[in-house]
Amino acid sequence: MAEGRSGDDVVSEYLGQNRQLAQWVETFRGYCETNKQWFARREFILRNMEAFPTLEQGVPSNGLDRLLSLSMAWANHVFLGCRYPQAVMDKLKKMSEGVNVTDAPVHMTRDEIIAKGKRGASAEGDPDSCVKKPKTGPNEVDGRSAGRTTARPPTQKSGPPPQAPAEHQPFFNRLYKAVAWKLVSAGGFGPNLDHFEILRSCVESCKQSLSCVIVPLKDIPDLPVGRTQKEGHVCELRCQTVYMGTGYGRDEAAARAMASKEALKAFQGRKVTVKICRRRYRGGDVEDVILHDDQPRNQGFPPALSYPFQPQEDASS
């Protein structure tokens, strides 16, 4: 490729002069890649082909597999915010020299988000801050000094905050893309996949972790209709407090595998959506944050095994 130039025009001109190469490279495009993602990764591949002298058009090789893996890792880092061991990140940085991505998304690590939140909290307490705090009326109690005597209902309703879906949606949009690419590389969704490993690796590639709760069936008071047997286990999966799926199995591993399979089904539609829905929990109804697909559902969700949104303390305690 011509040195000193970059962008889609250079790539298009280069591929226009090499029609056979253009057709071959196009076979590397992922099914779920947008034009923006693919054009950037395509340029990454083309710029680094010379570093793999064993590459031959139309011939599989270890060098080709390595180049494509590195190109996907670079794309995951740029567009999904994935991070890898420092040695890999250094190599990706060197290989991507000259590849410019217009309006690339900006990603923040969990530590950066926490640090930003702390800075925002300290700024809120700054006397020079422009944010004005509401004044308390003559019959209201200032919660900063009143402690437990703050005026509020004696029993605070438990549940997720109303803004929870909006806060979690960006993460699950990234996870949706990671799962889609993973399933494409695995040949599509099917019964012979290691569903838990696929889900776990995708979640960890987005710098989060799965929460897994497993309980013997005999200890579940609210089994769904038709589920009368007491043998085996039931597993519930969450990520960032968001419910993803429940599975039943003869042992813990089987229950976890089925829960992962159910969770992955949500990623088969055109999108995933985080919503607040009603669920059964310990004999009562609660509001829970749940991951939805875009398909209609004819039945309710299984009862919750865990519930991260606990009620506040009673004001009279």
- 9-23 residue pLDDT tens: 667 666 767 778 888
pLDDT tops 80 at residue 237: yes
User: What class, spelled out in words, does domain 164-292 have in CATH?
Assistant: alpha beta
- Mean pLDDT, the chain, integer: 76
CA distances from 3 to 7, 47, 98, 177 (A): 11, 10, 9, 33
pLDDT tops 90 at residue 238: yes
Spatial CA neighbour of 273 closest among 134, 200, 164: 164
User: CA 242 to CA 289: how far, in whole Å?
Assistant: 5
Confidence of residue 2 (pLDDT cuts 50, 70, 90): very low
pLDDT tops 80 at residue 85: yes
Confidence of residue 299 (pLDDT cuts 50, 70, 90): low
pLDDT at 216 (0 to 100): 87
- Start and end residues for every CATH 3.30.160.20 domain found in the chain: 164-292
pLDDT tops 60 at residue 147: no
pLDDT at 145 (0 to 100): 34
For residue 286, what is the enclosing H or E element? Answer: strand 284-292
Confidence of residue 61 (pLDDT cuts 50, 70, 90): confident
For residue 259, what is the enclosing H or E element? Answer: helix 252-265
269 neighbors 259 (Cβ within 8 angstroms):
no
The winner for highest mean pLDDT among 60-64, 135-139, 174-178, 290-294 is 174-178
pLDDT at 143 (0 to 100): 36
HEC string of 96-157 equals CCCCCCCCCCCCCCHHHHHHHHHHHHHHHCCCCCCCCCCCCCCCCCCHHHHHHHCCCCCCCC
Strands 242-249 and 273-281: unpaired
Percent residues over pLDDT 90 in the chain: 20
pLDDT tops 50 at residue 140: no
More confident residue, 260 or 115: 260
pLDDT tops 80 at residue 166: yes
Q: Lowest mean pLDDT: which of 69-73, 95-99, 227-231?
A: 227-231
- Taking the CA of residue 192 as centre, how many other CA atoms within 13 Å lie in the half-sphere pointing to its CB? 3
Q: Nearest 5 degrees, angle CA 148-CA 151-CA 154?
A: 75
